Amino acid sequence: MDGVQTSTDLDLGACEPVSGPATGWNTRDLRNALGGFATGVTIVTSRGKDGVAAGVTVNSFCSVSLDPPLVLWCLCKTAPSSRVFLNATHYAIHVLAEDQSHLSTRFSRPSPDKFAGLGIARGLGGAPVIDGVVALFECRCEQRIDAGDHYIMLGRVERYGYTGGPPLLFHTGAYRKIV
């Protein structure tokens, strides 16, 4: 087809470095600009080899591929539980319902037991599974990519479920609902 590039025509190596003021930017202002993109809110859970459960709130989640079924999420390198996720074979990604902002807040802060008082099932690879979410993706870790101050976690979906209810949204630094 004229004028259309196919994947065999593309160089799939690393992107060319961009010249520009990458340093010296006001990171708070950049974060405000990025906050203009509304996202869903997820909690990602896993279990360490020592049996200790870990969970983090994540809004950087997206589908990558249907065949094979791949999703990604981003893990902050300074998260206290980052070692658990980096060493895990599996994790569960929970898409929160619009009435679950309290769970998002709970899992966004350090705590000795983020799972206290919650009804938890045991998912694939031992990952804790939280009940009542809009969608659940149980994944095997496919790849971990070092990317700036985060790791990109690429997962192969091995099991999923969903209710179709309204999701919790995050936009411009606040939780939102679909109206």
Give me the residue label for tokens 């992107």. 15
- What is the pLDDT of the chain when averaged over all its residues? 89
Residue 178 lies in a domain: no
Q: Residue 15 falls within a domain, yes or no?
A: no
> Which pLDDT score, from 0 to 100, does residue 1 have?
45
Residue 149 lies in a domain: yes
The pLDDT tens digits for 35-79 are 889 999 999 999 998 998 999 999 999 999 999 999 999 999 999
Reduced DSSP (H G I as helix, E B as strand, rest coil) percent helix, strand, coil of the chain, to 5 = 15, 40, 45
* pLDDT higher than threshold 70 for residue 91: yes
Q: How confident is the model at residue 23 (pLDDT cuts 50, 70, 90)?
A: low
| Mean per-residue pLDDT, 89-109 | 97
Q: Examine residue 114 and state whether it is found in any structural domain, yes or no.
A: yes
| CATH number of the structural domain spanning residue 69 | 2.30.110.10
In the chain, the largest separation of any two C-alpha atoms, in whole Å, equals 61
Q: What is the number of domains present in the chain? A: 1
pLDDT tens-digit readout, 131-143: 999 999 999 999 9
Q: Is residue 7 part of a domain?
A: no
Residue 36 sits in which domain range?
28-172
* Domain contains 10: no
Residue 63 lies inside a defined structural domain of this protein: yes
Tell whether 1 is covered by a domain: no
pTM recorded for the entire structure:
0.87
Residue 99 has pLDDT above 60, yes or no: yes
Position 9 scores a pLDDT of 55
CA dist 121 and 158 (Å) reads: 16
Average pLDDT over residues 25-43: 90
Label residue 11 by pLDDT band (50, 70, 90): low
Separation between Cα atoms, residue 63 and residue 31, nearest integer Å: 22
Which class for 152: exposed (0-12), middle (13-18), buried (19 or more C-beta within 10 A)?
middle
Tell me the C-alpha distance between 109 and 119, whole Å.
19
